[in-house]
Chain A
Amino acid sequence: MTVTIARPLPPPPSRLRNALRGVGYFFRRAPLSAFWGVIAALIIAMAVAAPVVAPYPPLKSDFRAMQKPPSEKHWFGTDQIGRDTLSRVIHGSQTSLTVAFGAVLFGTTLGALWGLACGYFGGRFDMVSQRIIEFLQSFPDLILAMAIAMALGGGIATVIVAIAITRIPFGGRVIRSVVLSLKEMQYVEAARGIGASHARMMFRHILPQCVAPFMILATTHLGVAIVIEASLGFLGVGIPPPTPTWGNMLSDALNAGLVPPWWLVLFPGLAITLTVLAFNLLGDGIRDMLDPRLRGSV
């Protein structure tokens, strides 16, 4: 009699493997978005490694090369006091991305959690919350950010807070409507039936379903946050000079004289456009993959 020995099961796929497979799927499904995702990753890498990548220190002025057009030595030219524009643009990405990620991390997340609570509890809490969100949404976002940044005084933390507050209502609205429809699902009903606590139902059963819409919202908000940060810098309520940001570089260019040198205007703006484009297209791809129903709607 032969004994059949059960073949050992293949080991469960590791998390890393799963993640890699997801990325591979993304590349095949949406090659264009994946390409822009790579660009976004490169920009992030550039920001992290700014001191290594930048050819000069961003604050070092070279008085022999003041306001020089692009050349072999200074690819993007130099500003009025001889600082290298390329280095400043590279270092500017650091501030821009810190602010953008910070604002999304606080604002969109806080809004999403608030929306989760609103949708889940409903009732009077929801009603009052919706009114407050409506008030917040009555402000054009840049104007609200300007007012808050001005009231708190300049600096990277205040800019993050100012932009984060403008992101709260969007997170609140979107996630609330997702939760409202989830709440009626049978598995939530079942969880309630077996006596799960509110916290457990919210975080264990409903929250995971909100991850996809949140990711979509967050990537879109990254782009918006970068533009608001640049506008604040341009209007002089952002991060104050000499710290280079793309916004305050553009503002400096306008202050340079009646005719601003073209390279001081062109390159920081290109950096903003490229970064926002990369995040937006990456966001589009993520949206199409995670939730085809939302195609073209956000």
Chain B
Amino acid sequence: MYSYIARRLAFGLLTVIGVSIMVFVIMRILPGDPLIAIFGPDGFTKLTEEQRANYMRELGLSEPLWVQYLAWVKQIAEGNFGRSFFRSESVADMLVRRAPLTAEIALLSVVISWVVGIPVAIISALKPNTIADSAARFISILFLAVPGFWIGMLIVLGLLFWFGYRAPLTGAGLFDDPWANFELVIGPAVVLGLGQAAYIARMGRSSLLEVIREDYVRTARAKGLNGRLVIAWHALPNALLPVITLSGVLMGLVLAGSVPVERAFATPGLGFAMFIAVSERDIFVMQNLVFIYAAVFVLINIAIDVAIAFLDPRIRLR
């Protein structure tokens, strides 16, 4: 078990390093000129040669690329992630202020996805091809197609239109003002949670259908166990393993989805910060945020892998 965790972590570290190189390549090398990213193609052509050289020097962009990369890695290791090109706030401060909100949204959305998705999966799998099953499948197919941020806009609009309600616009900590915090978080969490629930219901259904046909489930039935107990005690735990893995993969959907969804709800979280960074063409903030999102995604998947290994001896022993 420990050697498995150690191996997984080592691979994870390798992946994070690879990710950092990739982010660096995308943000610095792809455009040929970071100034285009900052000023836009139009603004860039208006700059004189001299101005360009000045900006490049000021931003530390005239150093050789590998020096820039190492400087960035050093910043990350020190935990300050550099500073915005347009604002005084450092990325580290931004993280402290905004990340908790996005983390809350992500966690709550996972809870919602399980609370909604698993019962739907069970109903679908136990009574396949009935009206309930077809309805559940249609709704999950529908939710796979609807963009979350659009649902978010409709919710905001509907609440405003019918109830004149709008969630608070400023950030509120979980412990300072729990109710205001809940008002901020619940909308995005529901939207992102339902999006995941659709995948979970789909995967849970097929996984449960497979497990129900296994011999040990038949044995449990044969020894006279009551039907519900067989499902809850014997079938479900095994059927849920692939769903847990899926939940980890879906975190990518949540992390990415949180950007447009937070914009739709005007939630002052990290996703909104990324939207601001993109619209201000702030490549330094963007570079760090993209790296952090990817690193978090990698870490979550390691955690899921370890959890699965813990729950499933077949993997642990390999």
Contact = CB atoms under 8 A, between A and B. Distances in A.
B153 interface: yes
Contacts of A231: 147, 149, 259-260
Give the interface SS of chain B, mostly helix, strand, loop or mixed: helix
A259 B160 contact: yes
B154 A150 contact: no
A42 interface: no
Given A235-B263, A259-B160, A140 B252 contact: yes
A277 interface: yes
B40 interface: yes
Interface residues of B, number: 54
A269 B154 contact: yes
A142 interface: yes
B26 interface: yes
Contacts of B264: 234, 254
B141 A142 contact: no
Nearest to B298: A138
Interface in B285-307: 286-287, 290, 293-294, 297-298
B85 to A, nearest CB: 13
A87 B154 CA distance: 22
A151 interface: yes
A265 B154 contact: yes
A288 to B, nearest CB: 13
A147 B290 contact: yes
Contact of A135 (B19, B205, B256): B19
Contacts of A254: 153, 263-264
Contacts of A148: 26, 30
B256 A142 contact: yes
Residue from A141, A227, A295 with most neighbouring chain B CB atoms (10 Å): A227
B145 A143 contact: no
Interface string A274-292: 0011001100100000000
Contacts of A250: 149-150, 153
Contacts of A152: 30-31
A273 B149 CA distance: 12
B31 A140 contact: no
Interface string A104-140: 0000000000000000000000000001101110111
B33 to A, nearest CB: 10
B278 interface: yes
B26 A140 contact: no
B148 to A, nearest CB: 9
A148 B31 CA distance: 9
Nearest to A274: B145
A262 interface: yes
Contacts of A273: 142, 145-147, 150
A51 interface: no
A230 B19 CA distance: 25
Given A265-B154, A266-B154, A273-B145, A153 B41 contact: yes
A265 B152 CA distance: 11
Contacts of B22: 135-136, 139
10 contacts: A135-B19, A140-B252, A140-B256, A140-B297, A141-B252, A141-B256, A144-B26, A150-B283, A153-B31, A227-B147
A236 B281 CA distance: 10
A260 interface: yes
A296 interface: yes
Interface in A211-252: 223, 227, 230-231, 234-237, 250
B279 A280 contact: no
